[in-house]
Structure 1
């Protein structure tokens, strides 16, 4: 009599399971926490896994656009810009029910969104839903005549996130930054810069661009009486400035900063010929490396402006206009598709982010 052979139990080495999980979307990973205790521990509380997952996602250029309405209740969409804008499966509705009215996006870094609402700041990870309130700083409730500029970035040397606030008026500027790890605000002398307000585009667009370990804004350098790009180096805790391209003649009211193909990039509107020009700094901080790479037509819609957000893996350029219509151009400047997401007459704020499981570092005093 022959014995029945039991089906062998399939076994995967722990290291292989980790490699498989690292390549899954965050949405799937959150669902898979309930598979077993081991997976729950890996996905929920292993900082090395979370960091590896983020690094892999960022390296594959898997980025999403976050569109959030200004007023409450906040309609919030997360959109995969690698997919067709007409693909409903590429967008996901989020429910940030902790938000109050008058919300504004002030920065994005490593999957976290810096939000400003009613003179208070919060950090939110839209992938996990976790948010943290930030204590008030010295100048967050500055005089109404002062202009407030914000930035948010990551200092890799100390594994710390910094929130930067600059209060600027006609005579002087004040810079302070908040360390997540130290849980404190500090002030430094910002020098003779007056930061620039380009309010033609938005009610509150004065958001610094985080790139290459520094946060970048437009500013007037009073000593040189010249407009510059000023950057706050998060590791050195100091400001530096860079000059615009020699042939760049656009007013700062009609231009902005973004990251294009891993380079610091500058876009500018030219209303005389209805185009958007894109300049790329091929070598960071090297003025002679500025190169004009694209001229896109902006007369394809009746909107006031178009500014780029993201370059896809295929090289397409996706941007948004003043009616929150996403528009996608190919590398030759041909409009491929567009779609409106604006159902709110008060408007939306838009930013790019990378999905992550990352948590904020603990206060050193509590660690």
Structure 2
């Protein structure tokens, strides 16, 4: 009996050795593992390291997950308060993820400030399929520099994008498009206003491996902010209070989308959320800051029309968390920020992820129940300052961001 057990153990060991030493077989097995595991396994031996860190494997891994619809959403990064852009919080949403990688990437650049009177700002502005777009701004008596930075929190890879302009005039916005299903896999966009606020805009494209930006198209300006687009259905979408436009990745043309009717009521900024989840694009508009009811709208991929997906009434939530109620000079307002619409496989599990003073709350869109999922450290200074670009999804990915000499097939 003991001898049989020894033989089985030896056979198993031999099988493991065969797999570990067979690069082709190992390659196919490693493709099925999540990014977090692969990062740890890259230190097992030289063979594993060479496979996992190769450009071809990393792109194949991203494509495999994309085609199988298995891109795991690990969590959300969000700003606790928009008045303190150096402090960003995180919230893990996957069952097998306890925490997200800390965003301590500023030190990696070792950027030279240049003079003592410069003030630097560093902010996450967008997320797309595991990559973050960040903006670095430095101001001094001699001028202002605004640079885009592509960052992968999973493997801590960073790419400081080249300067797309000769002189910065304050009207520069960066965006990110990453799609592992087809080359060139990711692009960076720079949107520049050619004059004043209502002048035309120029959209330039940067592709990894190149040394400069390429002017793509020039279009009439729209009354919206271009610094935090949402990638959905093969295009990056920008939204304003009265209009919405998108930049198609393949044709590199800008087109408009009809906006749904604005809710009646006195409130200049009615958009409280605009984002994507699981292939669905959502929009939330409110009548006012003291509105208890609002609708969650979804854009149809075929008709490009907005329709009501969920109806939300916050009466129960306000009753359970009276700290949401704030008395202001304009009357009673509710301190609430919408981080994300989370659509689950089972409709009854879909939730609205919210922040209220001191807490992150998951509000079930079907059952109309609420659950505290995170206590926020310290005090949230005026939650009403939150807007629809304060939260960014995070997906574990081996997506490469460094300059590429060759794009693997």
Q: TM-score w.r.t. structure 1 length?
A: 0.77
- In structure 2, what is the Cα distance between the partners aligned to 1:81 and 1:278? 21
- In structure 1, what is the Cα distance between the partners aligned to 2:123 and 2:371? 30
Counterpart of 1:305 in structure 2 is 336
Counterpart of 2:117 in structure 1 is none
Given the superposition, is the C-alpha separation of residues 296 and 54 from structure 1 closer, same or farther in structure 2, using an over 3 Å criterion?
farther
- Give a deviation string over 1:172-207, Cα, whole Å, max 9, x none: 13223231333322335532232325xxxxxxx941
Is 1:306–1:322's contact at 8 Å kept on the other side of the alignment?
A: yes
Q: Does 1:59 align with 2:86?
A: no
Q: Does 1:360 align with 2:409?
A: no
Correspondent of 1:116 among 135, 139, 157: 135
Instruction: For structure 2, list consecutive stretches of 5 or more residues without a partner in the other structure.
Output: 112-119, 138-145, 325-333
Q: Does 1:47 align with 2:71?
A: no
- In structure 1, what is the Cα distance between the partners aligned to 2:37 and 2:406? 34
How many aligned residue pairs are there?
Answer: 344
Is 1:323–1:340's contact at 8 Å kept on the other side of the alignment?
A: no
Given the superposition, is the C-alpha separation of residues 281 and 72 from structure 1 closer, same or farther in structure 2, using an over 3 Å criterion?
closer
Flag the structure with larger Rg.
2
- In structure 1, what is the Cα distance between the partners aligned to 2:400 and 2:281? 27
Is 2:130–2:152's contact at 8 Å kept on the other side of the alignment?
A: yes
Q: Does 1:179 align with 2:194?
A: no
Counterpart of 1:224 in structure 2 is none
Is 2:262–2:285's contact at 8 Å kept on the other side of the alignment?
A: no
- In structure 2, what is the Cα distance between the partners aligned to 1:134 and 1:207? 17
Counterpart of 2:328 in structure 1 is none
3-state SS in 2 of match to 1:59: coil
Which residues in structure 2 correspond to 1:210-229 (within 5 Å)? 210-219=231-240, 227-229=242-244
Correspondent of 1:267 among 267, 284, 298: 284
Q: Which has the higher helix share?
A: 2
3-state SS in 1 of match to 2:150: strand
3-state SS in 2 of match to 1:193: coil
Q: Does 1:151 align with 2:169?
A: no
Which residues in structure 2 correspond to 1:78-157 (within 5 Å)? 78-83=90-95, 89-96=98-105, 97-98=107-108, 101-118=120-137, 119-138=146-165, 141-143=168-170, 146=171, 148-154=172-178, 156-157=182-183
Instruction: For structure 1, list consecutive stretches of 5 or more residues without a partner in the other structure.
Output: 198-204, 221-226
Is 1:75–1:94's contact at 8 Å kept on the other side of the alignment?
A: no
- Give a deviation string over 1:295-342, Cα, whole Å, max 9, x none: 223463515333242415354224343758432122313222242435
Counterpart of 1:29 in structure 2 is 38
Which residues in structure 2 correspond to 1:159-174 (within 5 Å)? 159-167=185-193, 169-174=196-201
CA deviation after TM superposition for structure 1 residue 104, in Å? 1.4
Is 2:358–2:380's contact at 8 Å kept on the other side of the alignment?
A: no
3-state SS in 1 of match to 2:239: strand
Given the superposition, is the C-alpha separation of residues 281 and 252 from structure 1 closer, same or farther in structure 2, using an over 3 Å criterion?
farther
Counterpart of 1:336 in structure 2 is 371
